[in-house]
Structure 1
Amino acid sequence: MSPPIGGGGRGAGRWLARLLNPRPPAARRSSGAQVRTITNTQVEKPRPLSTQRVGDDLSRRGYRFRIDDDGDVTGTWDGNRFWFLLLGEHDEILQVRGRWAGTLPAGARLAVLQAANDWNRERIWPKVYTREESSGLALYAEVSVDFEHGATEDQLAQTVSCGLVTASQFFSTVASLAPPSDEKPPSDEE
């Protein structure tokens, strides 16, 4: 199991900087503006998605993750569980799915559904929804992108960033409004 990434302490906030700037650390440290000229011979062609490519992108950012029993890439960011799923007939859809570490009581269902509806109406990403689980109402966030014709490294990195950043924003908003919970976050086995 990977320990939480960016969940407080000395590393808090660094994961967000790496997320918004996926270049390797050495490239981030260089000074001055970088100008990139692309010629026809330097254009990266889209390639099919794979679990390996998703893992490579996360590794370049310095994130820790694991492959679960279903073969999906998973990890925690600020205590929230995320999965990077390849869906579709040909694994052409990348879905970044997050589950908020907290839970809400079943009695809060109407308020939670109204809040999720407001979020979905006012924002493009992530799609948010709730599911009833044994511990109460669980909140999920998803960003899905269809890469039928493949993805470049930049497209893959942007999708991963979008999924993690927008879901984390939603989870932070919920956490700031939710009553304190005495329950532990879900385990890797869920």
Structure 2
Amino acid sequence: MTVAEPSPIPEPQEPTNPVPDQDLVKRLLDEMELTYVIDDEGDLAAPWEHLRIYFTFRGEGDQRVFSVRTFYDRPLKIRNKQQLLESIDEWNRTSWWPKVYTFTTDDAIRLIGEKQTLIGTGVCLEHFTSCMASWIRSAIQFDTWIVEQLA
């Protein structure tokens, strides 16, 4: 009986899928014909009339995260907080994204929506582009939806 030689251990290869960065997101926003700015902290933001969507990168290596965070600029009154929380709970139960939460000050409530994904090992560009467009669309849809809920 002949014993076969073990196969050599393959050398690690560079990832075939790129790790997204701010330049890629800018390019995708340009392709979507969306306006964006770079804020004082160097974060990329796309402003709309009643909301701002931030595209940020945090972490290192395999743990690098891409975050799409929406700040809804409609100040909501404290007296409507219970109805608002019930509506947000419904949205979070029935929608994939953004997941929305409140930030309460002494006289107003602000809404923030988030979606994050790990990108440290690279991404398929088609999937990343599709997700990013979907996250933007959903963030805008939430703004319309919450206004209808609170009307």
Q: Name the CA distance, whole Å, in 2 between partners of 1:172 and 1:111.
A: 16
Q: CA 1:131 to 1:46, structure 2 compared with 1: closer, same or farther past 3 Å? A: same
Which residue pairs with 1:52 in the alignment? 23
TM-score by length of 1: 0.64
Q: CA 1:134 to 1:156, structure 2 compared with 1: closer, same or farther past 3 Å? A: farther
Which of 154, 162, 182 is 2:126 aligned to? Answer: 154
Largest Rg, 1 or 2? 2
Task: Name the % identity.
Answer: 23
Matched, 1:101 2:69: no
Secondary structure at the counterpart of residue 138 of structure 1: strand
TM-score by length of 2: 0.79
| Matched length | 136
Aligned-residue RMSD, C-alpha: 2.1
User: As a proportion of its length, which structure holds more strand?
Assistant: 2
Q: Which residue identity is paired with 1:147?
A: I
Which residue pairs with 1:3 in the alignment? none
Q: Name the CA distance, whole Å, in 2 between partners of 1:139 and 1:165.
A: 17
Which residue pairs with 2:109 in the alignment? 137
Q: Name the CA distance, whole Å, in 1 between partners of 2:145 and 2:20.
A: 31
Q: Name the CA distance, whole Å, in 1 between partners of 2:104 and 2:26.
A: 30
Q: CA 1:114 to 1:101, structure 2 compared with 1: closer, same or farther past 3 Å? A: same
Matched, 1:173 2:126: no
List alignment gaps of at least 5 residues for structure 1: 1-43, 180-190
Which residue pairs with 2:46 in the alignment? 75
Which residue pairs with 1:113 in the alignment? 85
Which of 48, 55, 69 is 1:84 aligned to? Answer: 55
Residue 134 (structure 1) shift = 6.1
